Amino acid sequence: MYDVDLNRIDTSGEAPEFEPERQFYYMAKCRDILQERARRTGRAQTACVTTFGCQMNARDSEKLLGILKAIGYEETEEEEADFVLYNTCTVRENANLRVYGRLGHLNAIKKKRKDMIIALCGCMMQEPTVVEKLKRSFTFVDLIFGTHNIFRLAELLYRCFTGEDMVVELWKDTTQIVEELPVERKYPFKSGVNIMFGCNNFCTYCIVPYVRGRERSRKPEDIIAEIERLVADGVVEVMLLGQNVNSYGRGLEEEITFAELLRRIEKIEGLKRIRFMTSHPKDLSDDLIQVMKESKKICRHLHLPLQSGSTRLLKKMNRHYTKEQYLDLAMKLKREIPDLSLTTDIIVGFPGETEEDFEETMDVVRKVRYDSAFTFIYSRRTGTPAADWEQVPEEVIHPRFDRLLAEVQKIAGEVCCKDLGTVQEALVESMDDHDPSMVTGRLSNNIMVHFPGDASMIGQIFSVKLTEAHGFYYLGEKAG
Ligand code: SAH
Ligand code: SF4
Ligand code: F3S
């Protein structure tokens, strides 16, 4: 991603004003300090980064880890590290509770290691009430930053190193997109690629637009250049990331749609697979369906969040589609791309949800027959409009949730077997967890297949005959 030699950066003068040069300056400064600490303690300094959220959050963690490694930290999965960073999520209340729970545990570790630095970043930090609570009751935290300034990690860390107590830097929003910083990928053969940041949709239940700021798209040439570099570095599959990829391009100087961006990415030589997430049904164009249909690289999987099947609730959710429009779109997709796997997100217990509303959701589930669905119990998020509306009692929500889950699982079990006996391409991602003579691969439609193989196959695509269906995965054997 970056090819700056930190040894050649002059750190004797003032920090440069512009990015990314400013951060390279601070990376070099931090690296000197870390080398000194390593000499003093007689061991390499370690860093542990934990992701709590979605794929965007995971991609941010790779960027954060990229900076940490560039300055000389060794990555570890142990929380007994010199630097521990939680990249938080706040989309539902239980994401927050997990963070508070684990912070107590970190405090106990820190009592034994006083040089340890504890840092928090991500979506939860963009909520002022959270930061107030941390400042009041979690004073052992050394560094807090948000979603808009992750590229400034080296500079913020330098402030921690030089003695500042609890460094807190939060930006309300940004228009800045800083390119060219180091990234440490989790997988050598596949990678997420941000194509846009933020969200402008303000679904009334959702906190993401408040914590991720306004929607902004990256320039197509920057995206293409990043993917070309990734491919040169061994990546065969990319996942294009955005809260609403179908509105890609709005606000850019060059007029470009998501479908057009896909056409350009398709042309990148050496790239084998393209995925994207998430598609908002309201902006999914016929042109996109056309591109998917024609494409040899775009995977046969579309995540199309429904949220609710009730037109009345969809209106209150500010989703901008009706039950019928959603069904028409899903059926059109299935008709045009018959091997497409459709998945979704559904919320149960949105304020005001009646038995009739819920039955509408069940009806859509039965009609679309999703390959899988993430089902969520509505979580009240402070600051969102729906938080102030009359809530559905828990004892009403839980039985509905169970009914929905049972239906979703029953259908998924039936749908997922449909390719049994065929030969499909699988990208081998890892060794099988349970059987050392098997590898685990991902099919174009996002379903996993386990088949005989060895570690040398990881990162490559093989033709696999699907010999046994097990509900949510297949067993297979290499074909040809
Ligand atoms: N941008 C994506 C979704 C991002 S959040 C989209 O619009 O589809 C991922 C999922 O979390 C959402 O699809 C929604 O189903 C769920 N979600 C968001 N806010 C929620 C809340 N307050 N309670 C329960 N689930 C929620
Ligand atoms: Fe949240 Fe809606 Fe934006 Fe998705 S599109 S992130 S659900 S506000
Ligand atoms: Fe969570 Fe933030 Fe993603 S709130 S779901 S980590 S955008």
Residue of the nearest CA to atom 1 in ligand 3?
89
Give the whole-angstrom CA distance, residue 313 versus residue 399. Answer: 19
Indicate if the pLDDT at residue 101 is higher than 80: yes
Could you give the 3-state DSSP secondary structure of residue 377?
strand
Q: What is the pLDDT of residue 179?
A: 76
214 lines ligand 2 (CB under 6 A): no
* CA 200 to ligand 2: nearest atom: 3
Closest ligand, as measured to the CA of 247: 2
Residue of the nearest CA to atom 13 in ligand 1?
345
Indicate if the pLDDT at residue 200 is higher than 60: yes
DSSP per-residue string spanning 49-91: EEE-S-HHHHHHHHHHHHHHHHTTPEE-S-SSSSEEEEEE--S
Reported as a pLDDT band with limits 50, 70 and 90, residue 319 is very high
Question: What is the 336 CA–ligand 3 centroid distance (Å)?
Answer: 32
Q: Which letter does DSSP use for residue 238 in this model?
A: E
351 lines ligand 1 (CB under 6 A): no
Cα 304 to the center of its chain, rounded Å: 16
Closest ligand, as measured to the CA of 202: 2
Indicate if the pLDDT at residue 182 is higher than 90: no
* CA 201 to ligand 1: nearest atom: 7
Q: What is the pLDDT of residue 426?
A: 98
Closest ligand, as measured to the CA of 214: 2
Tell me what the pLDDT averaged over the chain comes to: 95
Indicate if the pLDDT at residue 429 is higher than 80: yes
Give the whole-angstrom CA distance, residue 451 versus residue 465. Answer: 9
* CA 54 to ligand 3: nearest atom: 3
Q: What is the pLDDT of residue 113?
A: 87
Question: What is the 206 CA–ligand 3 centroid distance (Å)?
Answer: 10
Question: What is the 115 CA–ligand 1 centroid distance (Å)?
Answer: 38
Reported as a pLDDT band with limits 50, 70 and 90, residue 176 is confident
Q: What is the pLDDT of residue 7?
A: 83
Indicate if the pLDDT at residue 225 is higher than 70: yes
Could you give the 3-state DSSP secondary structure of residue 111?
helix
Reported as a pLDDT band with limits 50, 70 and 90, residue 2 is low
Question: What is the 259 CA–ligand 1 centroid distance (Å)?
Answer: 24
- pLDDT for 236-253, tens place per residue? 999 999 999 999 999 999
Question: What is the 368 CA–ligand 1 centroid distance (Å)?
Answer: 20
Percentage of the chain modeled with pLDDT above 90: 90
